[in-house]
Structure 1
């Protein structure tokens, strides 16, 4: 930020010196009109270039995410469940596409919010898994089988230009055979029918 301020001050100082060196008022007026017209044009061209480059980078990142077959971790949010469903930690079974069990055990459930007998919780599965692996999560009397994970770009908007890619995230998966898109977070609501 300090470098930008120094550059702007040097630019203004240079303009003042050039203006003083010019002999006629007409030359000075033409210089300032050129600057007043040129700066917005340069800013517009710079913005268009930033948008074009951002879209190109985002498309390249999307191709990389489509080719990626390994997911580092999984975070699910359970919304508006009975508090009794969270009395025990979730039991998870991790199988590969051929059905061979790779991992099983209890996974952490963190209750984020409680209201009377209702609760909202976060489930963490911190073991890497392939996008074609099967994760079976047993929570109380409910069972969720997550399969066919599809990755998409995790992008954040910027003030100027196209959004910037920040890695890959799970864009959608099948839960008990039903294709489910995940917008920003992976939510499973108690009223969802799977």
Structure 2
């Protein structure tokens, strides 16, 4: 902030110096009118251009996400489960669309919080999988079958206008046949009936 104030003060000093060097009042008036009208006009045009460029970049990123069929990793959050359901891992079976098993075994679980006999945990599947693959996760006595992954652009608003895209993220998936949005992450609570 101090740098911005210093730049504005320096700019005003240069303008005052130029005004003093100008010969007549008409030239001074034209200079100050140009500054008063030109700077806001440049700011508005710069903002409009940033919004237009952001929309253009978002459309290109959306097209790229629509064509992408591979998900790099998956993070799920399990909330308010019986603590006995969590060990240090969950059994996972990864199948392709034809039903061929591509991977099976235990995947890491991090216990985030424990209260009495309830627990909250984070599940990580760090192997790439296709959006039409099937992930079956066995957590305690429950089984979750995840299918039909959809991807969307990960974007946020920029300070100077327009959205800024940051790649693709999972938008939603079917859990045991029920369409579930991901939002920032996938949250599965004990009360959810899938």
Same fold (TM over 0.5): yes
2:109 is the alignment partner of 1:109: yes
2:110 is the alignment partner of 1:119: no
Residue 155 of structure 2 corresponds to 155
Deviations 1:76-130 (A, max 9, x none): 1111111111135210000000000000001111011112211111000111111
Deviations 1:133-175 (A, max 9, x none): 0000000001000001111111133212122111111011111
Where do 1:23-34 residues align within 5 Å? Answer: 23-34=23-34
Residue 145 of structure 1 corresponds to 145
Conserved 8 A contact 1:107-1:123: yes
Conserved 8 A contact 2:80-2:189: yes
Distance, in Å, in 1 between the alignment partners of 2:167 and 2:99 is: 29
Distance, in Å, in 2 between the alignment partners of 1:43 and 1:54 is: 16
Deviation at 1:18, TM superposition (A): 2.8
2:182 is the alignment partner of 1:182: yes
The number of aligned residues is 194
Conserved 8 A contact 1:88-1:140: no
SS state at 1:179 partner: strand
Structure 1 runs not aligned, ≥5 long: none
Q: 1:14 to 1:88 in 2, by over 3 A?
A: closer
Conserved 8 A contact 2:150-2:173: yes
Moved more, 38-47 or 19-28: 19-28
Residue 97 of structure 1 corresponds to 97
Structure 2 runs not aligned, ≥5 long: none
Distance, in Å, in 1 between the alignment partners of 2:96 and 2:25 is: 79
Conserved 8 A contact 1:58-1:163: yes
Deviation at 1:192, TM superposition (A): 1.5
Moved more, 82-91 or 12-21: 12-21
Distance, in Å, in 2 between the alignment partners of 1:55 and 1:89 is: 42
Conserved 8 A contact 1:94-1:136: yes
Q: With the length of structure 1 as denominator, give the TM-score of the two structures.
A: 0.91
Deviation at 1:131, TM superposition (A): 0.5
